[in-house]
Chain A
Amino acid sequence: MNGTRMFQSAPAVLVASVALCLPVLAPDFMLFEFSIAVSYGIAILGLNLLLGFSGQICLAQGALFGIGAYTTAIFNVNFGMDPIVTLPFAAIVTSLIGVLIGLPALRLQGLQLAIVTFGVASAFPQLLLKMDSITGGVTGLAIDQPMAPRWFPGSQELWLYGLSLICAAASVFMLSRLLRGDTGRLLRALRDNPLVAESLGVNLTKGRLAAFAASSALAGLGGGLFCILNGFISPQSFLPMKSIDILIGGIVGGITSMAGAFIGAVFIVFVPGWTTAINPALGGLIYGLCLIAMMMVARQGIAGLPIGRGLQALKHLFNKKGLSRVSGAVPGQLGGE
């Protein structure tokens, strides 16, 4: 499916509207949880690009998220840098490390790549403990959380939520630049048929590494934001399971949908808590059944559900009446890829 069209799609409008209305609808403590979800959503956006568009799996997204978080923390703790200013650095540092992780991807694809990257995710917490002189080891690192300025009328939670939305918007903005035009086409081309892509002159190495770089940058930005939101990080936040959670968020939301990335993030942040609330002893079981049911009902993820299609149909109706720009392309999802 088309990268730009995805950006204009109905689920995107819906998610953006809900995100903007939340401060009115949700209490402050919920706003905090939604901010956390946004930080995961940014990492999932990266996985969308990598897995959904370039067809490469990475089960180290949680570790890369952690690298972003630690970059922000270390820059703040050691150099006294404003946490918000550290965010671009978190993205850049993580991006470089992501490219290193991506190097095996040039030879390995599919399940082998999954195992290699999961190896990175498994080693990461131990590595943090070993490098305790800069990571603070098991006690972790506490940062100076950016406080809401005097002029800001809302709560601290609202301030941080605003910051999260700005990071998310910037991520979506940059990602949509990559996914439209030639770069978006070449990624989908190497995903769907690398042999044909190569004979069309696509540089597979460069394309695959670029996808890893961009995906990791987003994981790093999300991680940096996560650090700011929590004010404190430790290896406990970046266990191997985090990478699986991020993958689940990506698939459940819809792996080629930007709106889906944030829907999936909300899912992984809230649903485990809800299922535990239903029955504290059977929370894991209910969550597991939830996941199974999700995949039976919504194979393309939540963003691909008929609700989304219904809204799309509505939008087409509006388009016909000339109320908004006509995007031209009608074909929509054509099974398969």
Chain B
Amino acid sequence: MAVVAPAAEEGSPVLSVENVDVRFGGIQALKGVSLYVRMGEICGLIGPNGAGKTTLFNCVTRLSTVTAGTIRLHGQTIETLPPRQIIRMGIARTFQNLGIYAGMTVLENVMLGAHHLSGGRFVDALMRPRRSRQREQEIEHRCRDILADLSLEDVADVAAGSLPYATQKRMEIARALASRPTLLLLDEPAGGLTHGEVTEFGALVSRVREAYGVTVVLIEHHMGLVMSLCDRVEVFHLGQNLASGRPEEVRANPAVIDAYLGRSR
């Protein structure tokens, strides 16, 4: 199903993905997929397992390479940038199966999120310890604020690997926020949460959007969360766009119902 580029009055797209193909050997993971994400919205990205949702995130963050199509952030093409430039462009993500450093403390993990802002200065670390320490303190201060914001201040100095899964997921969001993103890509952030935690988590995401002024793309299987939280939902199926629209429209769409019922999960 064709996706129409949003009209100008609906706000300029932060992220526009146009006709993207991705092939892994014999598998065509994405076929002519498009996605437009407007400034400030929470855009849900749903679809049965293997639909290509994570692959799309990987393309945007340059962990996978598109075989055709373009990806633009604020109108600038990014599909050929080196992976490490993506976070500098203002795109931060979380990983479906966690991309945390289990052996580091929560604070260290989150401070890594701010690495791209002023990090990697080996000569300064050796020769200008005072300046390095000052920079370190500023970043630590900001990261502790973010931790407090996400109710993680009590575990700041605990090794990330020893925390419950839900807390690790929250920490990953804190790390993404530490990078000062404009676009936040969350890959199944509510996976493994209990029912009560999911509600709480939804509140957290909307609060984060307000407080940090981020645009959010949310991959999620938890339909209740998607329906209550998202401004707009995009549905992928078998590597293609299936439907898009407001949550209630998408939920009533027979093609979407078929796609989900057709695949036992």
- CA of A188 to CA of B103, assembled, Å: 9
CB–CB B179/A334 < 8 A: no
CA separation between A192 and B159, bound complex, in Å? 14
Flag whether A81 is at the interface (Cβ < 8 A). Answer: no
Given the known interface contacts A183-B122, A196-B95, A331-B159, the answer about A177 and B129 at a Cβ–Cβ threshold of 8 Å is: yes
- Contact indicator A336/B120 (Cβ below 8 Å): no
Chain A 308-335 interface residues, beta-carbon cutoff 8 Å to B: 328-331, 334
Do B125 and A182 touch (CB < 8 A)?
yes
Q: Does B86 contact A (CB under 8 A)?
A: yes
Known: A2-B108, A329-B157, A331-B159. A336 touches B115 (CB 8 A): no
Indicate whether B20 reaches chain A with its CB closer than 8 angstroms.
no
Q: Is the CB of B102 within 8 A of A183?
A: no
- Our pick among A185, A192, A202, A331 for the contact of B84 (Cβ within 8 Å) is A202
CA distance A197 to B135 in the complex (A): 20
Q: Which of A203-211, A261-269, A285-293 contacts B (4 or more CB under 8 A)?
A: A203-211
Give the interface SS of chain B, mostly helix, strand, loop or mixed.
helix
Within 8 Å of chain A (Cβ to Cβ): is B111?
yes
Query: Is B75 engaged at the interface, CB distance under 8 Å to the other chain?
Result: no
Asked whether B74 is an interface residue with its Cβ less than 8 Å from the other chain, the reply is: no
Nearest chain-B residue to A331 (Cβ)?
A: B159
**Chain B 73-88 interface mask (CB, 8 Å, partner A; 1/0):** 0000000000111111
Taking CB atoms, residues of chain A closer than 8 Å to B112 are 185-186, 189, 197, 200
- Known contacts being A195-B63, A334-B159, is A200 close to B179, with CB within 8 Å? yes
How many B residues, CB 8 Å from partner? 43
- The CA-CA distance from A210 to B120 in the complex, in Å, is 10
The answer to whether A147 has its CB under 8 Å from any CB of chain B is: no
Render B84-110 as a binary contact track against A, CB cut-off 8 A, 1 for contact: 111110000101000111111100100
* Given A183-B122, A186-B120, A210-B122, A202 and B105 contact (CB-CB distance below 8 Å): no
Main secondary structure of the interface of A (DSSP, over half): helix
Selected from B87, B122, B125, the residue in CB contact (under 8 A) with A200 is B87
Q: Assuming A182-B132, A183-B121, is B179 touching A201 (CB within 8 A)? A: yes
Give CA–CA (A210, B123) in the complex, Å. Answer: 9
B126 within 8 A of A: yes
Nearest neighbor of B101 in chain A, beta-carbon distance: A192
Q: Residues of B contacting A178 with CB < 8 Å?
A: 122, 125-126
List of A residues within 8 angstroms of B113 by Cβ:
200
- Residue from the list B101, B122, B161, B179 in contact with A188, Cβ < 8 A: B101
The residue from A189, A198, A201, A331 contacting B162, defined by CB atoms under 8 A apart: A331
Task: Say whether B158 faces chain A, with CB atoms less than 8 Å apart.
Answer: yes
Cβ–Cβ contact A185 & B115, under 8 A = yes
With A200-B175, A201-B84, A330-B157 given, name 17 new contacts (CB 8 A). Answer: A2-B105, A180-B136, A183-B125, A186-B120, A189-B104, A189-B112, A192-B101, A192-B103, A198-B84, A199-B87, A200-B116, A201-B86, A201-B116, A201-B179, A207-B120, A329-B157, A331-B159
* Residues of B near any A CB (own CB < 8 A): 61, 63, 83-88, 93, 95, 99-105, 108, 111-113, 115-116, 118-122, 125-126, 129, 132-133, 135-136, 139, 157-159, 161-162, 175, 179
User: Could you write out 25 A-B pairs with CB less than 8 Å apart?
Assistant: A178-B122, A181-B125, A182-B111, A182-B115, A182-B118, A185-B108, A186-B115, A186-B119, A186-B120, A188-B104, A196-B95, A196-B99, A199-B61, A199-B63, A200-B84, A200-B112, A200-B116, A201-B85, A202-B84, A203-B84, A203-B120, A204-B84, A334-B159, A336-B103, A336-B161
